[in-house]
Amino acid sequence: MEQIGYLFAGQGAQFSGMGKKLSEASPAARQVFATADKVLGYSISRLCFEGTTEELTPCAVCQPAIFTVSMACRAAWLEAGNPPPAACGGLSLGEFAAACAAGVFSFETALALVAERGRLMDACCQSNPGGMAAVIAGKPEEIEQICADCGIDVANYNCPGQIVISGEHERLDRAVELLAPKCLRAVKLTVAGAYHSRLMTPAAEEFGKVLAKVNIQPPQTIFVQNVVGEAVSNPDQIRENLQKQVASSVRWESCARNIMNHCQRTAEFGPGTVLTGFMKRIDRTFLATPAFTEL
């Protein structure tokens, strides 16, 4: 059997209408949306299928929405007779879909966690304002040093030549100014907060209290986590990493390379093809494709 790695999309991949075509075509996907509506107590399916960009932007909405679409994609994929994962990983929010696909916890549990994570992050954005910036073709060690000097953090190590930084607006502006001559491009992103930075620490602490009440099972396949960039199997360590991830760097390139070591190709689940693009930049010879080209 072909060994396939499952990749799951992160926040920012959302778009109005996502999952609608898949739900119409797949009974399994349709059931995922119905279950999500019941668990959340409101129609996340309507927001996915009909919601405006503004409605889908808050973390409290986009996180459960993207998670639900990603899991609907997985359900449709398996319904079509495709093989289960040899390894699972996801970018930030996507790590929860990956954990679910790896058998760490149920869909219902994961969805409730994601919804609370989004709510806590929205609250943190309000109390600790900040932003993020993409740094293209800069040296990691130089970026890290400037972040340290400016009192901000590296949020994402996405792929060779792409790092995202995060922090308070004024400090972030200073870092972008210092990085401009040292890279191809350093540009602020249109986001609601300073995700994966020290400003998210209150959200991480509160989320830890939520995670402490959840039963976590050992993964049934290779499961990589963002905080460490490698496979983790111990339930207590998985729990700790899920908490830390909210305010820590996402080491996606390391995650991706670990997944590549355990499979022949990857399929990306959820809206967009960002992770497929990252995989191709990490290794152009490796086969990486979306699970579905139309959602």
Catalytically active residues are 92, 196
* Adjacency order of strands within the sheet including 230-231: 230-231, 222-225, 87-90, 4-8, 265-269, 287-290
HEC string of the chain? CCCEEEEECCCCCCCCCCCHHHHHHCHHHHHHHHHHHHHHCCCHHHHHHHCCHHHHCCHHHHHHHHHHHHHHHHHHHHHCCCCCCCEEEECCCHHHHHHHHCCCCCHHHHHHHHHHHHHHHHHHHHHCCCEEEEEECCCHHHHHHHHHHHCCEEEEEEECCEEEEEECHHHHHHHHHHHHHHCCEEEECCCCCCCCCHHHHHHHHHHHHHHCCCCCCCCCCEEEECCCCEECCCHHHHHHHHHHHCCCCECHHHHHHHHHCCCCEEEEECCCCHHHHHHHHHCCCCEEEECCCCC
Report the distance separating Cα 210 and Cα 116, nearest Å.
Answer: 8
Report the distance separating Cα 266 and Cα 259, nearest Å.
Answer: 8
Specify the pairing of strand 185-188 against strand 265-269: unpaired
Q: Yes or no: say if 73 and 295 are a contact pair by the CB < 8 Å rule.
A: yes
